[in-house]
C-alpha cells in the first residue's frame, strides 16, 4: 500500500488525502487542481486507514475553525 499524505488545498484550505506518488490532486471541496508537492502537508500516513484517522484528528482539533466556504 502506498504512502498517503494529508494535504491542504491551496485555494480553499480544505483537507485532502493524497497518495504520496500522486502528482496532482483535485480538491473535493472547491474542484481546483493543484500540485501535491507544492501543497501544504499536514501529515504523512503509512496507509489509507491511518490517513483517515489522522484526518479525523485534525478535523476534531480544528472544529472551531470550521469555515463556511460555499
Q: Is 27 in the site for Zn ion (CB under 5 A)?
A: yes
Q: Is 11 in the site for Zn ion (CB under 5 A)?
A: yes
> For residues 13 and 50, which CB has a smaller minimum distance to Zn ion in the complex?
13
Residue 22 in grid coordinates = 500522486
Binding mask 38-67 for Zn ion (x = CB under 5 A): ------------------------------
CB of 46 to Zn ion, least distance (A): 25
Cβ within 8 Å of residue 37, ≥6 positions away:
23
Amino acid at each position: 500500500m502506498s504512502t498517503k499524505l494529508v494535504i491542504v488545498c491551496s485555494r480553499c484550505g480544505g483537507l485532502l488525502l493524497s497518495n504520496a506518488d500522486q502528482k496532482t490532486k483535485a480538491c473535493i471541496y472547491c474542484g481546483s487542481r493543484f500540485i501535491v508537492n507544492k501543497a501544504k502537508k499536514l501529515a504523512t500516513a503509512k496507509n489509507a486507514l491511518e490517513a483517515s484517522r489522522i484526518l479525523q484528528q485534525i478535523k476534531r482539533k480544528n472544529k472551531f475553525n470550521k469555515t463556511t466556504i460555499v
